[in-house]
């Protein structure tokens, strides 16, 4: 509010402009840095056994990511409409409802708690992936939970593409 008030006064604009431009510059830099893909990897949580609500299905261990903590910048989800099968051969879930994702940082804090899977799919977000404040995570501590099992069967995979950098 105070920046807007200062900018409205013609005589004060020359003093406010450098400050205002700096704020815009910082915002654009932070946004653009998150949009640049440094590394990406498809990861998945496989539904083993009979699908059940309230059960945590942890992300599978990915060998080239296992020894490293990841600094996560963003993610996107895939259903069969975007990816029929994962690189490991599992069929992606056909439904986008009834699934929530939880991401935990290295301190076991759930910083993204029960985000609907539907909102992580780029096609549902005008082509944008979900941008996160960069956090260091251990992939095998993160999980998905089912809130509804309709359309989900054993052996289905909830697949995500993670945008990250190694710590």
> Does residue 13 surpass a pLDDT of 60?
no
Token pair for 61: 């261990």
Decide if pLDDT at 161 tops 60.
Answer: yes
In our burial notation (b when 16+ CB lie closer than 10 A, e otherwise), range 110-125 reads: eebeebbbbebbeeee
Residue 70 has pLDDT above 70, yes or no: yes
Q: If pLDDT is split at 50, 70 and 90, which confidence band does 109 have? A: very high
Q: What are phi and psi of 126, to 5 degrees?
A: 55, 35
Match 């251990």 to its residue by tokens: 138
Domain ranges across the chain: 2-32, 38-166
Nearest to 33 by CA among 166, 117, 162, 131: 131
pLDDT value of residue 10: 52
Tokens 């450098």 map to which residue? Answer: 18
Q: Is the pLDDT of residue 124 over 90?
A: no
User: Is 60 exceeded by the pLDDT of residue 51?
Assistant: yes
């Amino acid at each position: 509010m105070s920046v807007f008030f200062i900018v409205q006064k013609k005589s004060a604009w020359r003093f406010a402009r450098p400050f205002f431009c700096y704020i815009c510059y910082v915002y654009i830099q932070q946004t653009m840095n998150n949009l640049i893909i440094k590394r990406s990897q498809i990861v998945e949580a496989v539904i083993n056994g009979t699908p059940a609500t309230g059960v945590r299905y942890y992300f599978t261990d990915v060998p080239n990511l296992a020894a490293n903590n990841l600094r996560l910048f963003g993610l996107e989800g895939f259903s069969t409409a975007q990816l029929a099968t994962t690189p490991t051969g599992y069929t992606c879930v056909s439904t986008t409802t009834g699934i929530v994702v939880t991401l935990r940082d290295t301190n076991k804090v759930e910083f993204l708690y029960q985000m609907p899977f539907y909102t992580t799919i780029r096609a549902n977000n005008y082509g944008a992936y979900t941008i996160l404040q960069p956090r260091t995570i251990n992939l095998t501590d993160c999980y998905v939970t089912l809130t509804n099992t309709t359309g989900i069967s054993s052996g289905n995979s909830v697949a995500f593409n993670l945008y990250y950098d190694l710590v």
